[in-house]
Structure 1
Amino acid sequence: MSRHDKPLLSHGRVSRRTMLKGSLASALTLPALAPTLAGAAQTEDKDNIDLARQWPFYGEQGQAGITTPPQRHIMFMTFDMTTPTASALQVLLARWSAAIAQLVQGAAVGTVEPLRTGSVGSDTGEAVGLDPAALTVTIGLGPTIFTDNYGLAEKRPPHLRPLATLPSDNLQPELTGGDLSLQACADDPQVAYHAIRVLARIAKSIGAAQTRWTVMGFGRASAGKGQETPRNLFGFKDGTRNLVDAAEFDKHVWVKQGPAWQHDGSYQVVRKIKMNIENWDTDRVSDQNNVFGRHKLSGAPLSGTHEFDTPDFHKKNADGELTIPATAHIRLAAHENNQGVRILRRSYNYTDGLNQYGQLDAGLLFISYQNDPAHFEQLQRKLGATDALNEYISHIGSALFFVPPAAKEGSYIGAELFS
């Protein structure tokens, strides 16, 4: 075991929740561990949650929920249109936009009076009294929207089409595709759930769309600027080398070419990745380190000492072997080894309970944003073919959407499509 892989209890923070301060030591029955854990609990929280925080829905660039610092929870849902008329799509996007503008302020949609009078209302009520919790809701349009059915074939974004078949695919039809997507992120899971519930209800009430597949995620698995790097369900830090500043977003995330209405839009790739948790847990930590190319606890590349050290992909050990193995995840995904290709990751862990064999049914809701989905495909072709991580994961769901730029005040998402 290397110095990077000492027991977790001797390193860093156990919980970032302030409520735990002063309670950990008394709760422990192992005196030898108590001082270390108590000290960890007193570490300053780098990711303080402000449930009163609001992110505006209207704007001049991309939709909120893309480069916004990732919140703690997500509710993601896709929809199938149930009517082929452009007017129904237009009404739905307008209704959704108006509702989201209220939801992100912590306001009930429409009025809460029906909750008192007993009549049917626009808002379902389960978030009444809750703070906005930094809610963002991001709308995506699938390839099937830009067809002659809706008179939008000529306005199709140039890179919007079904994703190519990839080596890692084990896709289930019921978890694949969709005409529309909604990504609701918040620091309160009930706020995120409420937003999607209300918006799905609107779609059904006007007869425009019905739900297709959904994932509820937790414990963001990608870091934003200024955020401590979170961990995926394999216990490794995820998002150490993620995009974090405006210059990187302009280069890799936002669309800057083509018709003006597409500028500051982006392409959303969504993958539901099942993790074989029990198999992974039986492997030695040294093997797990080699799979990722990083030390599990510190997050440092195997060639370095600290999490944010730049990986040295040429470094070899005393036996002349690559320090970061040829099949390591970070080697295959690194922009240095992929002609500079980079994507913005905004992923979350998920769990669906137990599978039919009594094993944990859990994994990663992988979401990425890029100005060309071919960049994701380029990375995933390499990863899907030779990544050592493939022994422990399976890509079971997939979809691609174009996310239009933010709506301006008084307008709605995608309004330019109908002008």
Structure 2
Amino acid sequence: MSKQTSSKKAPGKKAPGARSAGPGGAATVPAPAAAPAPETDGSPSLELSRRRLLGTVGAAGAAGLVAGGAGGALGVSAAQTGPQDAAKAVTSIGSTEVPFRTARAGQQAGITTPLQATGHLVAFDLAPDADRRTAAALLRRWSRTAEELMAGRTPDADTGVALDAGPSSLTVTFGFGHSFFGRTGLTKRRPVQLDPLPDFSADALDAGRSNGDLWIQIGADDALVAFHALRALQKDAAGSARLRWQMNGFNRTPGATAHPMTARNLMGQIDGTNNPKPSDRDFDERIFVGRDAEQDWMHGGSYAVVRRIRMLLDDWEKRSRHEQERVIGRRKDNGAPLTGGSETTPMRLDASGPDGLPVIPANAHARIAAPESNQGAAMLRRPFSFHDGFREDGAPDAGLLFVCWQADPLRAFTQVQRKLDRGDALSRFLRHEASGLYAVPPAAEPGDYVGRPLLEG
């Protein structure tokens, strides 16, 4: 928001709209002008989109923002903001829009989009009597609703939850689970990359919170906007699909730090330093499905692996900072490798200390997960943290909603996780409690819906 400004006034004179001193020197704010009564004839021309409403807030600030139509002042006036600021529109992270049909080379939004402050991961199973035609109609409704919401517009029969908010970087991303293809008679078009993930020794998976026919990832920088999207999509599914599981997550709010930073997880560690970058020469090759894929409807799409990973924070927090850093292989304060430098300094995996032992321990998480240790295997990690209260023993039910993207899960997630499963020092502080793998097709063409080439091809 714009900063407050002030100007000097001649003695004995008041600037227009200035506050006067009340009893005891307390300032009193003049009542704002009454807002015009809203029209009630339902004319579409009188309806404001969430994005347009945000853009008009600055003008309302000159006379005082009015809530509820009955005159409940929010306390913003020209005297508080200054005459120059009063003429400026209020700007915020809420005004940021992510296009539904753009993204890199046709990929869905929510993959390379910067991390948002809040998110929902949700899976649905098709209704028992649903078929391919039912699924196509549902994806058509979902795509229409997602496009409207991401543009800051409100769909028909809206709840009004986020009526006064901007788009807030909202993204909605759709994917298909392994079981979706059997339910819709499309097993011949199921990619081999959707074969179930192998069992890992550290898994303690809850089947009721894993997999699912359809998967949706929702992200936004405003919690109400994210919930609004979740509710709208859930309503769209009525009669066609039923909720299988839902998980809610969060990240640091954009702008909370003095400059952009790699996110921290609930262990306090900087998490995502070695993520592939869109500027990398081989980024698309690693993350998105190429044209040589067996299933042409997945060209430009990606595969998402989703894991609910509970962190044993009570055990972790008993460890000294030195111990924690050796488990990870990086410094806790700035994310630099233990071999020195800054967060982005390459790890010197061959460096030894005075004792002859590796500076970065052989079982350190950063060493084992590094592409150099996995024949170049890499995935784009895009997680949310979660906290779902406390367990019966008082320990926090908290951790990471791990989401990673790759062109081939077998060569990326599965390869790295197998190695972590055999000797990662961090594993003793983690519990993998839910899992899913989803084929995420490219974005819909204008006037189309997500997944049409599969469902109607």
Q: Structure 1 residues 102, 402: closer, same or farther in 2, change over 3 A?
A: same
Q: Once the 2 structures are TM-superposed, how far is the Cα of residue 416 of structure 1 from its aligned partner?
A: 0.7
Q: Once the 2 structures are TM-superposed, how far is the Cα of residue 302 of structure 1 from its aligned partner?
A: 0.4
Higher mean alpha-carbon deviation, 306-315 vs 164-173, is at 164-173
- Is residue 2:223 matched to residue 1:185? no
Q: AA paired with 1:90?
A: A
Match of 1:392 among 401, 412, 429: 429
Q: Structure 1 residues 337, 260: closer, same or farther in 2, change over 3 A?
A: same
Q: AA paired with 2:284?
A: D
2:175 and 2:229 map into 1 onto residues whose CA distance is: 15
Cα offsets for 1:23-66 (capped at 9, x unmatched): xxxxxxxxxxxxxxxxxxxxxxxxx9621011111135110000
- Matched-pair contact (CA < 8 Å) for 1:177–1:398: yes
- Is residue 2:389 matched to residue 1:353? yes
Structure 1: stretches of 5+ with no match in the other structure: 1-16, 20-47, 111-120
Match of 1:362 among 381, 387, 398: 398
Match of 2:446 among 393, 409, 412: 409
Q: AA paired with 1:296?
A: K
- Matched-pair contact (CA < 8 Å) for 2:109–2:172: yes
Q: Structure 1 residues 230, 105: closer, same or farther in 2, change over 3 A?
A: same
Match of 1:244 among 277, 299, 303: 277
- Matched-pair contact (CA < 8 Å) for 2:94–2:167: yes
- SS of residue paired to 1:373: coil
- Is residue 2:375 matched to residue 1:332? no
Look up the match of 2:66. none
- SS of residue paired to 2:235: helix
2:376 and 2:202 map into 1 onto residues whose CA distance is: 22
- Matched-pair contact (CA < 8 Å) for 2:288–2:300: yes
Look up the match of 2:243. 211
Q: AA paired with 2:100?
A: F
Match of 1:70 among 110, 115, 123: 115
Look up the match of 1:14. none
User: Percent of aligned positions with the same letter in both sequences?
Assistant: 41
2:190 and 2:139 map into 1 onto residues whose CA distance is: 17
Look up the match of 1:308. 344
Cα offsets for 1:327-378 (capped at 9, x unmatched): 1000000000100000000011100011111221100000000011112011
1:147-226 to structure 2, matched below 5 A, reads 147=182, 149-204=183-238, 207-219=239-251
Look up the match of 1:61. 106
1:213-292 to structure 2, matched below 5 A, reads 213-219=245-251, 227-246=260-279, 247-256=281-290, 257-258=292-293, 259-292=295-328
- The two structures have a TM-score, normalised by structure 2, of 0.76
Look up the match of 1:41. none
Look up the match of 2:131. 85
1:302 and 1:269 map into 2 onto residues whose CA distance is: 29
2:2 and 2:370 map into 1 onto residues whose CA distance is: 36
Q: AA paired with 1:236?
A: Q
1:31-42 to structure 2, matched below 5 A, reads none
1:281 and 1:18 map into 2 onto residues whose CA distance is: 40
Q: AA paired with 1:65?
A: G
Match of 1:128 among 129, 150, 163: 163
Q: Once the 2 structures are TM-superposed, how far is the Cα of residue 145 of structure 1 from its aligned partner?
A: 1.3
Q: AA paired with 1:150?
A: T
1:342 and 1:157 map into 2 onto residues whose CA distance is: 20
- SS of residue paired to 2:400: strand
1:49 and 1:366 map into 2 onto residues whose CA distance is: 28
- SS of residue paired to 2:94: coil
Higher relative contact order structure (alpha carbons within 8 Å, sequence separation ≥ 6): 1
1:103-114 to structure 2, matched below 5 A, reads 103-110=149-156
1:248 and 1:217 map into 2 onto residues whose CA distance is: 30
- Is residue 2:143 matched to residue 1:97? yes
2:310 and 2:253 map into 1 onto residues whose CA distance is: 14
Q: AA paired with 1:335?
A: P
2:213 and 2:260 map into 1 onto residues whose CA distance is: 33
- Matched-pair contact (CA < 8 Å) for 1:184–1:196: yes
- Matched-pair contact (CA < 8 Å) for 2:385–2:399: yes
Q: AA paired with 1:100?
A: A
Q: Structure 1 residues 413, 213: closer, same or farther in 2, change over 3 A?
A: same
Look up the match of 2:21. none
Look up the match of 1:380. 417
- Matched-pair contact (CA < 8 Å) for 1:167–1:381: no
Q: AA paired with 2:180?
A: I
- The two structures have a TM-score, normalised by structure 1, of 0.82
- SS of residue paired to 1:349: strand
Q: Once the 2 structures are TM-superposed, how far is the Cα of residue 221 of structure 1 from its aligned partner?
A: 11
1:64 and 1:299 map into 2 onto residues whose CA distance is: 28
Q: Structure 1 residues 73, 139: closer, same or farther in 2, change over 3 A?
A: same
Q: Once the 2 structures are TM-superposed, how far is the Cα of residue 175 of structure 1 from its aligned partner?
A: 1.4
Supply the RMSD in Å over aligned alpha carbons. Answer: 1.9
- Matched-pair contact (CA < 8 Å) for 1:221–1:231: no
- Matched-pair contact (CA < 8 Å) for 2:221–2:253: no
- Matched-pair contact (CA < 8 Å) for 1:220–1:347: no
2:442 and 2:260 map into 1 onto residues whose CA distance is: 25
Q: Once the 2 structures are TM-superposed, how far is the Cα of residue 208 of structure 1 from its aligned partner?
A: 1.1
Q: Once the 2 structures are TM-superposed, how far is the Cα of residue 69 of structure 1 from its aligned partner?
A: 1.5
- SS of residue paired to 1:174: helix
2:164 and 2:318 map into 1 onto residues whose CA distance is: 45
Q: Structure 1 residues 18, 277: closer, same or farther in 2, change over 3 A?
A: farther
- Matched-pair contact (CA < 8 Å) for 1:72–1:218: yes
Q: Structure 1 residues 242, 383: closer, same or farther in 2, change over 3 A?
A: same
Match of 1:294 among 318, 330, 333: 330
- Matched-pair contact (CA < 8 Å) for 1:176–1:399: yes
- Matched-pair contact (CA < 8 Å) for 1:221–1:230: no
The higher radius of gyration belongs to 2
- SS of residue paired to 2:453: helix
Look up the match of 1:139. 174
Cα offsets for 1:154-178 (capped at 9, x unmatched): 2112311221112221111221111
Q: Once the 2 structures are TM-superposed, how far is the Cα of residue 188 of structure 1 from its aligned partner?
A: 0.6
Q: Once the 2 structures are TM-superposed, how far is the Cα of residue 182 of structure 1 from its aligned partner?
A: 0.7
Q: Structure 1 residues 221, 400: closer, same or farther in 2, change over 3 A?
A: farther
